[in-house]
Amino acid sequence: MSNNHLEQLEPKEVFHYFAEIADIPRPSGNEKAISDYLVRFARQHHLEHYQDELNNVIIIKEATAGYETAPPVILQGHMDMVCEKEPDSPVDPECEGLDLFVEGDYLSARGTTLGGDDGIAVAYALAILASDTLKHPRIEFVCTVSEETGMEGASGIDVSMLRGRRMINLDSETENEMMCGCAGGGRVVADLPVQREKMTGDGYESLTVKVTGLTGGHSGTEINRGRANAVILLAETLAALNKKFSSQEFRVGSFAGGNKDNAIPREASAEILIAEVRKPFLEKELEEIEQAFCARYGNADPDIKLVLESRPADGVVFTAETAEKLLAMILEIPNGVQNMSSDIPDLVETSLNLGIAKTAEEAGNETMQLHYSLRSSVAESFEKLAQKVIRTAEAYGAVTGRSGEYPAWEFRKDSELRDVMMPVYEEMFGKKPEVTVLHAGVECGLLAEKLPGLDAVSIGPDILDIHTTEERLSVSSAERMYQYVLRVLELMK
């Protein structure tokens, strides 16, 4: 899919590369194509480059005249994106290029996520690396894979060739913020064994109940906005129906929702069997539950819908015990914000998000698999929460595993890099940027472990509703922040 119409946007060189990478599918875990594109770029521009087995890429451009003795600067971002799509979208970002469009000041993708997180970092870096006119120290561009699913790229990358100890991470989404610290995190997956049986006899109707219309969002930056989690709402709905109807009247046949552990699920669905004579009562119950959900979530999620759809019947359902265990486990394990920071106002300290519920099969045994994303700026709190999730899940008979853990990026009270960047921002825009610590994870913590003494700051243009199909990038902000990065590099002698 061609996105050449972006050439009209300024800065042209940035949106040229943004359009090119938007044509390349780059879901987390499948970055070979975009990684090879970066290698081709480096070769075309005769730049030193490295590509590892994970498909991480490092591209190095030597200092321009007059900057030969200046300390190198690392520019850093990630090449993967969260691939979400509207149910009726003809574009599947997992395997197709995006259909970009501009409306007013905003760049978006029709029916899918935009990939501004973190495509704008890649576009900025390539524009800088391709230029023959900019002034800058040695540039070391570090572009990682699988940031969105656990930072496996940053965890496994070899950075021994890097000389820089000043790093500008380009993975922030608010123009007037200068991020200087973030939470650590990781994943817990729980596999609950599933038993099934076939309901015999006539008089049953097979239906699908869907929770839909939710806002969703990033499980780090937007976990404190009071938005509903579709998987949790579906579990609440089915648990209420289990209480209302007997096991001979109502049964659950499947349960699924969400597809990214770091995105708040927007939709979830379950296949159910209901005695035909009880269907009118089912419809009434769902209306009441929907009204209760809308009242509870108010402005944060005003469009929650519970939808019933007919489906072909096979009569195979979870046993009553399996359904009861699954729903009870989901509702007993905590979800959302757990603690707020006592040191930084309005900062979430510890949270978790149930991002995926799906069936899985291993060695012929079916399980219900739940994926949780955990975050905390306090290592002890993270560990306590992980152990709580594990103990609760295992008490219901689930098998658990941990993966993708990454350290917090600790705030530096004294930062020479920040001391350079702050006055430049104030000079260019007439105000001071807000220095922040973020609840979402960025790769600075992992890279700081590999590069002792690393002084890092994370910045970026305004990107709204990341990880959702409403994601949009402010074009004017992208231009301002690009000019800001160029000015910072020019002053870093």
Query: Under the phi-then-psi rule, with left for phi > 0, alpha for psi from -120 to 50, and beta for the rest, what region is 226?
Result: left
- For CA atoms 241, 247, 248, 250, give the dihedral sign: positive
Which phi and psi angles does 70 have, rounded to 5°?
-75, 145
80 is catalytic: yes
> What is the rounded distance in angstroms from the CA atom of residue 213 to the CA atom of residue 40?
42
Task: Quote the tokens at residue 359.
Answer: 């069936």
Which string of b and e fits 121-143 if b means at least 16 CB within 10 Å? bbbbbbbbbbeeeebbbbbbbbb
CB atoms closer than 10 angstroms to residue 442: 27
- For CA atoms 83, 232, 186, 74, give the dihedral sign: positive
- Helical residues (DSSP H) of 53-187, grouped into ranges: 116-130, 152-156
Q: Yes or no: say if 172 and 459 are a contact pair by the CB < 8 Å rule.
A: yes
> What is the rounded distance in angstroms from the CA atom of residue 149 to the CA atom of residue 375?
13
Catalytic residue among 31, 84, 118, 147: 147
147 is catalytic: yes
CB atoms closer than 10 angstroms to residue 270: 24
Catalytic residue among 31, 80, 152, 175: 80
Q: Yes or no: say if 80 and 21 are a contact pair by the CB < 8 Å rule.
A: no
Residue 240 parent element (H or E): helix 230-244
Contacts of residues 484-487 at CB distance under 8 Å and 24 or more positions apart, as own/partner, are 484/424, 484/425, 484/428, 484/429, 484/459, 485/124, 485/128, 485/168, 485/170, 485/459, 486/128, 486/134, 487/424, 487/428
Please give the radius of gyration of the chain, using alpha carbons only, rounded to the nearest integer.
Answer: 24
Helices (H) and strands (E) in the chain, counts: 11, 26
Angle separating helix axes 475-491 and 416-429, nearest 10 degrees: 130
Catalytic positions, please? Answer: 80, 147
